[in-house]
Amino acid sequence: MKYRKRPVVIDAVQWHDNNLDEIKAFACDAVGEVYNGGTNLIVHTLEGAMVASVNDFIIRGVNGEFYPCKPYIFEKTYEPIGAEEE
């Protein structure tokens, strides 16, 4: 059987090496330590701690949870919406 992902609007911020403060403000307590020379970040998810790398997106899910997403997966799954859809 095949399934289609339901259309859902999410908030996300892409992590670059110069916007850690923006990520921390967005994800609050879900952001853990930065390590590996500043290229990895711990994100506390519902499934436990996950590692985000520079350029990954940090997504706020439909229940307020946070998780990292690789850019190539994000681009296949999500698209920007217009202000009228927010």
The three-state DSSP-derived secondary structure of 14-78 is ECCCCCHHHHHHHHHHHEEEEECCCCEEEEEECCEEEEEECCCEEEECCCCCEEEECHHHHHHHC
pLDDT at 8: 87
Question: Average pLDDT over the chain, rounded to whole?
Answer: 92
Sorted by where each begins, the domain ranges of the chain are 19-79
Q: Round to whole Å and give the CA distance between 56 and 74.
A: 9
The answer to whether 23 and 15 are in contact (CB under 8 A) is yes
- pTM for the whole thing? 0.88
Q: At 27, list the tokens.
A: 């994800």
Which is more confident, 50 or 3? 50
pLDDT tens digits, 29-70: 999 999 998 899 999 999 999 999 999 999 999 899 999 999
